[in-house]
Every structure is written in C-alpha cells, then in structure tokens.
Amino acid sequence: MFNMKPIHFGVLVKDIDSAMDYYSKKLQIGPWQYFGELQENAEYYGKPHKLCYKAAMAPFGALNLELIQPTAEGSVFYDALQSRGEGIHHVCIEVDDIEQAEETCKAMGFPIIDRVPMYEMEPGFSLGFCFIHGAVGGLDLELVQEVHTEPANG
C-alpha cells in the first residue's frame, strides 16, 4: 500500500455561501478559506473535461471540512450531487506520490473516476488529485499530492 494521511472530508452543497453561513452559525466551524470558482483540466472516466466547482475549507478538529459546489455538469461532483444530494462525498488522504498511489489503487481493482494531474496552482505550490469511487464505506476516496517549493525569483 502507500502512506496515508487523512486531511479532510468533502461535503457537496448546492449553495456554498449558504452552507458556509450555516456551518459557521450553527456549528461554529470556521474561519473559512474561500477558493472561489476553480476550473481544472481533468479526466472524468478517462475522458478530458474541465472540473468546475466552488470550494471552501475550514478547520474541523484534527481534519478540515471542505465544501464543494459544482458549477458545471458532467463531473465527479455534479453527478454525485444529482444522484445522492447534499452531504459527505469523500474522505481525502495525502499521499507522497500521486502517480504511484493511482497505480497501486488500479492494481487493487479500484476505479479512478476523476483525476487532475499535477499542476502548479500558484507559484511554489503544485497539486494533483484523483477520486476513487466507493472505496471508503460507499464514500469516494480522494488521493492528493501537494508539493511546496520556493517560488523562483524573476
């Protein structure tokens, strides 16, 4: 297997602003880091697509809570929200090598349903992730690799 470090729970919502307000007021979860609308080059069931969604993250005990509002059809987030409704979608674990972790999961028979190859999200921070369908008690499992480097001075 590979080293696994749980980092967050992902919750699908229809309205991220209302959800942040609800979790803040009712459950005192926050402060929220709002990422705005993201559009990432991805592969959904092996076919290229744009993964479009709004996201926010807040501390939740030893982990984080991620809120996700899909903003376009035909993605791991949109399709799950349509079929299952709002609620916990995935557990996310950090891995040291996303490509190796994907290969290990495939060899174990787990389907990779959506993947975003490593890319530089901002200077000094690269990210890659994928989703494995139903791997954790019916929930999807997100594998993520984060790479922090010193931005080049230019």
Q: Tens digits of per-residue pLDDT, 3-13?
A: 778 999 999 99
* 81 located within any domain: yes
Residue 81's domain comprises: 5-148
* 78 located within any domain: yes
- Looking at the structure of the chain, the number of domains it has is 1
**Own/partner pairs, 60-66, CB within 8 angstroms, 24+ separation:** 60/8, 60/9, 60/29, 63/6, 63/7, 63/8, 63/9, 64/7, 64/8, 64/9, 65/8, 65/9, 65/11, 65/23, 65/29, 66/8, 66/9, 66/10, 66/11, 66/92
* 154 located within any domain: no
Mean pLDDT of the chain: 91
What share of the chain has pLDDT > 70, as a percent?
96
> How confident is the model over 135-145, as pLDDT tens digits?
778 889 999 99
Report the CATH number at residue 43: 3.10.180.10
* 115 located within any domain: yes
Q: What is the pLDDT of residue 151?
A: 61
> How confident is the model over 67-115, as pLDDT tens digits?
999 999 989 999 999 999 999 999 999 999 999 999 999 999 998 999 9
* 153 located within any domain: no
pTM, whole model, 2 decimals? 0.90
CB atoms within 10 A of CB 6: 13
* 47 located within any domain: yes
Among 115, 114, 95, 11, smallest CA distance to 54 is for 11
